[in-house]
Structure 1
Amino acid sequence: MDNNLNQSFEIAITRVFDAPRELVFKAWTELGHFAKWWGPKGVTLEIVKMDARSGGEFLGIQTSPYGNQVMWGKFAYQEVVEPEKVAYIRSFSDEQGNTVRAPFSVSWPLEIMNIITLEDDEGKTVLKLKGCPVNASAEEQETYKGMAPKLQQDLEGTFDKLADYLVSLN
């Protein structure tokens, strides 16, 4: 990937799921699975488009629990390797999929690279996520760094939802 990654600061999360790697990969790449767990707790997701392959796109809308906050988002899939890797650039967007500023901060980076790797560990799956801004200004990098604890908390909540979803499939 030749994007200008600002890896001066990145978040990293490792999580073990009690599910086979192939299933965890499908949960990340198949619309029927992804829509059931993605997003912070209490948030619902409606998927408009999901083409989880290298060069593909995702477009969806998240709605807060009370319906008072609606956010469009997109993924530009950079590299999808079954069943071991999903790398995508995540952005806020409008309904047509055009990149827009985050509704909560004018200095939030326009693009965040997320790289997810999945490793098999005796029938369980070790998921590692790394995230960092792409083509971000110094101010955007500082905003990302400052909001990293909240972002990490939201991602942990999302992974809790994924863990619960995977258990529900057994």
Structure 2
Amino acid sequence: MKYMFQFAIVAMLLLLGGCSESSNDKRTSTGAFSRIEGIVTDRDGPITSGKIIIKDKNGAAITSVALNGDSRYSADIPANAAYPVFLEIEGHDELLEAVVLDPTAAKQDITPMSSLVVRSARDLGGVTKENMARAAINAISQSKTASGKNTTAGFKGDPTKQYGGWH
């Protein structure tokens, strides 16, 4: 139990601290827009059709991008967008969504786990950095409980991608 708590703390620090970009990154950003990219998957695998609708914090659609046979997407978010912005996949049976908290984020996958984190943050009182961190820890716990695993021994890879990929 002690190690699970320590892992959760380290994972949250990586999630929150890993969102900024260094000058060596290939992120495209100008005064006019900020680029976000990622993949879209559901429980069955990659989603290759549909449209990602990007909405500002007030729920107004600010841009969209189509998935044309590829689960990868790239979208330009206008510089004047009111953050956080929400990404939702349209044209899919299950509501899949993710949130981008600020314009420094460059990658955001849209998955069932990212959807769980967003819903949990809303239940905690709103989509803020603090609530997203708490929701991510809760989602990690739910995921481990649902799979019957109570340790982190099966963890592999980047924790920012392992649990939904939100930044």
TM-score bracket, shorter-length normalisation:
0.3 to 0.5
Q: What is the TM-score with the length of structure 2 in the denominator?
A: 0.34
Higher relative contact order (CA 8 A, sep 6+): 1
Q: What is the TM-score with the length of structure 1 in the denominator?
A: 0.33
Structure 1 or 2: more strand by fraction = 1
Structure 1 or 2: more helix by fraction = 2
